[in-house]
Amino acid sequence: MFTLTSNIVRRTVQLSVAAAVLVTASVSAQADEISLSNTLNSIEQNMTQASQEMISTAKQEFMLSLQTQIAEQVYEVNSSLAQVVLTEPEEPKTAIAAQATENK
């Protein structure tokens, strides 16, 4: 009877130890999954934020480049118009001067 009780106690202790090991391993595995999930979420958030900043910076650079190109083209058009305006009055003056010379 003592042997049977001893075997039952020993078997119960072995099962308890096995259950404790399984529970500890399960908790560790869940902790690893949670840690991995948190890490992946953190990486995803960082990549999203970095992507948004890159897109914002690219947009600003594109707009500045576009504004610069437009300003250069406006300046060129204004310069061309100024040259045309400056040369047009000289032609009539020359024509008037030529007519005045012919009339004399």
**pLDDT score of 73 more than 90:** yes
Spatial separation of the C-alpha atoms in residues 98 and 95, rounded to whole Å: 5
Residue 1 DSSP code: -
Mean pLDDT on 13-26: 72
How sure is the predictor about 16, in pLDDT bands with cuts at 50, 70 and 90?
confident
The answer to whether the predicted template modeling score (pTM) of the entire model surpasses 0.75 is: no
Whether the predicted pLDDT of 68 surpasses 60: yes
